[in-house]
Amino acid sequence: MKTSIKAKKWLVLSSIFLILIGWALAFSIAIPTHIRPLLLLAIALPVIPTLIILWMLSHSVPDDVMKKINEITQRVVSDKEIDQVVIRTEKLPKEVLPFVNAINRLLSYHHDRFQQERDFTAHASHELRSPLAGIRLQTEIAMMTKDPIQKENALKNVIKSIDRGTRLVEQLLIISRLTNEKVDLAKERVDLKKLVQEVVSENQFSADRKQIQLIAYLQIDSLFVEASKDSLYILIDNLIRNAIKHTPTTGKVTVALPKATNDSSVMFIVEDNGPGIPAGDRDRVMKRFEKGVKGSKAGTGLGLAIVNRIVSLYGGDVQLKDARLGHGLQVVVHLPIGLLSVSEKKS
C-alpha cells in the first residue's frame, strides 16, 4: 500500500518536472516567438490529463486497500460463544494488525463495561428483594394478628427492613456515581480532623446501641487538605459503619488520623475487634456485592467496594490487615493528597 502511494508521488513530481523542462526549452532555444506558446501547449497538453487523473487517484483509496478494508469488514463477527463483537485477526496483513488490535481492545473494553453494568443491575435487584420480602411478610402479620404486642413487633420489623432497603439504595447511588467514567472530585479546603470528628459523632448512636466504644485518636492541630469533602466523608463513614456492624456488643472500634511522615499524603486507620477477614478473602471483599461471610445477608456488600473506589480515584491505596491485638480487622488508607501549608490555611 505504501509503495503504490510513493510511486504516484514520483509520477506527479516527474510530470511537473517534464512541463518545466518544456517551458525552459521553449524559451531558451531560438524558436520564433509566435510559435513558442504553441510548442508549450504541445508539450503540456498530453501531460495535463495525466496529472488530473493522478491527482484524483491520489485522493481516492486505492483498490487493493479498499479490498483489504472490505475483507476486514467481513471479519467483524459477533462471537456467540463469548457474546461479544470482535474482528478476527488470523491471516490479516501485518500493516493493519495494529489498527485491528486497537479496535478489538476498544470493543472488549466496552463489552466488559456493559457486562459489569448488567451484573450490577441484576445484583442490585436481588439485594433489594430481601428487605422487600421482609416488609411484605411483617406487614401481613401486623394485619393478621389481634395481639397488640405481636403487631407492634411486626411493625418494628417493617421499619427495620425499610431502613435496610434505604441504606442499600443510598449505597447503590453512591457507587454508581463513583463508577462513572468521569468523576468530578470537587476540590475544596477540608479540615480532616473536624471531618473525622463529624463522622464519629454521626455514628455514636449506633455504636452506643451495641455498647461499642468508638474512639478517635486525633492530633491537636487541624489538618487541612484540598480534596472533595463529600467523598472523604463517605470513605470514613463506610469504614466506621463497617467496623461497628462487624464488632460484637461491648466491643471496641478505633479511628486514627496519625500525623503523616511527610506533608504529601494523609493516612486513616480504622480498627475493630470483630471476627476480622481471613487473608484469602481480603481481595474478594473489596469487590461489589461481596460480603465477608459468603452468602450472608448482613450489610449491603458495597461498603468496602465504595471505599476502594474512592481511594483509587485519589490514586491512593487501602490495605486490610489483622488488628494489632487479638482478633479484628485493621483498615489502613493512604491518600496522596498534600497538606496545605500554614500560609494557604489563611487564604
Partner 1 sequence: MRILVVEDDKVIGDGILQALQMQNYAVDWVEDVESALTAIMANKYEFVILDVGLPDGTGFDVLKNLRDSKNSVPVLILTAYDDVSYRVKGLDAGADDYLIKPFKLEELLARIRALRRRSMGQANPILQVGDVILDPVATKVKKGEDNVNLGPKEFAILHTLMEKCGKIVTKEQLEEGLYGWDMEIESNTIEVHIHGLRKKLGKEFIETLRHFGYRVGAGED
Pick the closer one to partner 1 by CB: 6 or 297. Answer: 297
Residue 185 and residue 144 in contact, taking contact as beta carbons nearer than 8 Å: no
Question: Is the backbone of residue 298 left (phi > 0), alpha (psi -120 to 50) or beta?
Answer: beta
Q: CB 145 → partner 1: shortest distance, Å?
A: 7
Distance CA 319, CA 264 (A): 19
Check residue 293 for interaction with partner 1 (CB under 8 A).
yes
Interface with partner 1: number of residues (CB under 8 A): 26
Name the minimum Å distance from CB 295 to partner 1. Answer: 4
How far is 253 from 239, CA to CA, in rounded Å?
Answer: 10
Instruction: Determine phi and psi for 75, rounding to 5 degrees.
Output: -80, -10
Q: Rounded distance, CA 310 to CA 233, Å?
A: 10
Q: Are 264 and 336 a contacting pair, CB within 8 Å? A: yes
Options 72, 124, 138, 303; binder of partner 1; rule CB under 8 A: 138
Report the site for partner 1 in 89-128 (rule: CB under 8 A).
126-127
Where b means 16+ CB within 10 Å and e means fewer, 261-287 reads eeeebbebbbbbbbebbeeebbeebbe
Q: Pick between residue 92 and residue 132 the one whose CB is nearest to partner 1.
A: 132
Rule CB under 8 A: say whether 231 interacts with partner 1: no
Q: Which is nearer to partner 1, 127 or 237 (CB)?
A: 127
Stretch that binds partner 1, among 17-25, 62-70, 140-148, 188-196 (CB under 8 A): 140-148
- Say how far apart CA 299 and CA 242 lie, in whole Å: 8
Site string for partner 1, 143-182 (x = CB under 8 A): -xx----x---x--x--xx---------------------
Of residues 6, 297, 324, 345, which one binds partner 1 by CB under 8 A? 297
Binding residues for partner 1, per CB under 8 A? 126-127, 129-138, 140-141, 144-145, 150, 154, 157, 160-161, 293-297
